[in-house]
């Protein structure tokens, strides 16, 4: 596997080895020892999630306050633009983001450590997005940052995404920081 470090500490692009022939392909989507040795991903994963969305659906930017989740994400089918945002006001990379295309063709994964905000938008007709989490989902602990917050200036590759009512009412980064530091 190939591990690519990004400009955000701990955020990694992972390109697993893919074995292809005329029948199709095979790859390991996770192997604890290999990921620990090659990518230095140590946490225990406790929950797997799978979502299906249609073209233009944007989910995020999400995180949990008291029980932050690390995530190992990938597109099992289709294509997504996946984004991690550093929302820790004490971090030297605060307010910076990283984005990468994940697809069923490039087989790339993104590892997002606990504490980062995360979101994605679907670029294909449909996408199945699957991810492993280092902590359990707790609805009462979830918080969101507005996907189009001008302070973040995330370069989403869509102009008019389909956003849930809830995600459309997420906090601005400055309001998240004020709440986090209260």
SS (H, E, C) 112-160: ECCCEEEEEEECCCEEEEEEEECCCCCHHHEEEECCCCCCCCCCCCCCC
Q: What is the DSSP letter of 167?
A: H
Catalytically annotated residue among 35, 62, 116, 118: 62
Calpha distance 118→122 (Å, rounded): 14
Q: What are the counts of helices (DSSP H) followed by strands (DSSP E) for the chain?
A: 3, 13
131 is catalytic: yes
Asked if 161 and 168 count as a contact pair (C-beta separation under 8 A), the reply is: no
Three-state secondary-structure class, residue 143: strand
Pairwise CA distance, residues 131 & 74, whole Å = 6
DSSP code of residue 124:
S
Catalytic one of 35, 111, 116, 131: 131
User: What residues form DSSP beta bridges with 110?
Assistant: 13, 73
34 CA to centre of own chain: 21
Known active-site residue 62:
yes
Question: Which of the residues are catalytic?
Answer: 62, 131
């Amino acid at each position: 596997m190939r591990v690519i470090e990004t400009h955000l500490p701990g955020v990694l692009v992972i390109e697993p080895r893919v074995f292809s022939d005329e029948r199709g392909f095979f790859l390991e989507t996770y192997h604890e020892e290999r990921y620990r040795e090659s990518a230095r991903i140590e946490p225990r994963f406790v929950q797997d999630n799978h979502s299906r969305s249609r073209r233009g659906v944007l989910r995020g930017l999400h995180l949990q306050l008291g029980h932050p989740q690390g995530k190992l994400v990938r597109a099992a089918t289709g294509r997504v633009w996946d984004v991690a945002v550093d929302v820790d006001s004490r971090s030297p990379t605060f307010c910076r983001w990283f984005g990468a295309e994940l697809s069923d063709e490039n087989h790339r994964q993104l590892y997002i450590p606990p504490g980062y905000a995360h979101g994605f938008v679907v670029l294909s007709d449909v996408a199945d997005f699957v991810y492993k989490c280092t902590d359990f989902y707790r609805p009462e602990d979830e918080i969101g940052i507005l996907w189009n917050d001008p302070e973040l200036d995330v370069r989403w590759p869509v102009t008019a995404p389909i956003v849930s009512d809830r995600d459309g009412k997420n906090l601005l980064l400055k309001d998240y920081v004020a709440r986090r530091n209260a």
